[in-house]
Amino acid sequence: MYKRDLELDRKWGWLLGEMGKQLGKKPKDLNGVLFLIGVQELGKGSGRFSKEEKQDLMHIAICKVLSLSGYYELEGVDQDGWPHWKLIKKLPRFDLLEQEKLLKLHVLEYFESEFSWNWKEE
């Protein structure tokens, strides 16, 4: 395992722990974190979402975190308040493991930029 993979794993574990402290329940995986980011970005608070809406929330999150590297741009918000994103530059072709790493790195960057979270172990 590469040093940067170990660092990613350390930061990811810290993030999940902090989210668990703040939410009272630790997200199980990347999908859980993406769902929570989608809810945050939608800005309507938590509530009941249909299966389709949950998928849309995860899409919002993926677009938001990848927008930090210029892959997506916010196109606008529809009449119901749901954001819509436009692909700006083509995503690299990765296998599933590499895709997950890319998303985790961007999720960590999202929390750094949006919430000024510090990755130092406490």
pLDDT (0 to 100) of residue 1:
56
Q: How many CA atoms lie within 13 A of 104 on its CB side?
A: 21
pLDDT (0 to 100) of residue 120:
58
Provide block-wise average pLDDT over 10 residues at a time, the chain (122 residues): 84 94 93 96 90 97 97 96 96 93 96 80 48
Beta strand residue intervals within the chain, DSSP E: 72-77, 83-87
Whole-number Å distance between alpha carbons of 42 and 57: 8
Which tokens is 105 given?
A: 């790195």
How far does CA 63 lie from the centroid of its chain?
A: 9
Sign of CA dihedral 61, 64, 67, 71: positive
Secondary element (H or E) of residue 8: helix 3-23
pLDDT (0 to 100) of residue 46:
80
Contact criterion met (CB below 8 Å) for 34 and 61: yes
Pairing of strands 72-77, 83-87: antiparallel
Contact criterion met (CB below 8 Å) for 51 and 34: no
